[in-house]
Amino acid sequence: LGDMFKSFDGGSKQMLNGTMVHEVFQRAATAKEFSLQKLSELADEALHSPRYLGDMYSLGVSQEEIKQELHEYLPSLEHWANEHLCPTNPKAISLKTQGQDSA
């Protein structure tokens, strides 16, 4: 999708950042690990990927600039995953059997 829109307007820093955040999310989901440490590791791998280095050069932005913006999203990804993918406190269920009085 990003490549399709890039052909219309040459891409943007925001689009590149969004694409990289999405890749980090996908790779974390595949690894089933959304710790801030893992997300940071995946973000750094994306920052050094030839796939994105050319886009950074074309847009005239540095790796450090994109890194700063990319890392701003990582706590939100971790929080979202903890809320929606990793339930930590399962709800207790009380089941009554036939003939059992409620207390």
Number of structural domains in the chain:
1
Give pLDDT, residue 48: 96
pTM: 0.73
Residue 19 within a domain: no
Q: Could you tell me which residues come within 8 angstroms of residue 13 by beta carbon, excluding any fewer than 6 positions away? A: 59, 61, 65, 66, 69
2: pLDDT strictly greater than 90: no
* Containing structural domain, residue 72: 49-85
In the block, tokens 């990319």 appear at 70
- Summarize the chain as % helix, strand, coil (round to 5): 70, 0, 30
C-alpha span between 14 and 69 (Å, rounded): 9
37: in domain: no
19-76 per-position pLDDT tens digit? 999 999 999 999 999 999 999 999 999 999 999 999 999 999 999 999 999 999 999 9
At 91 the pLDDT is 53
Let me know if residue 10 belongs to a domain: no
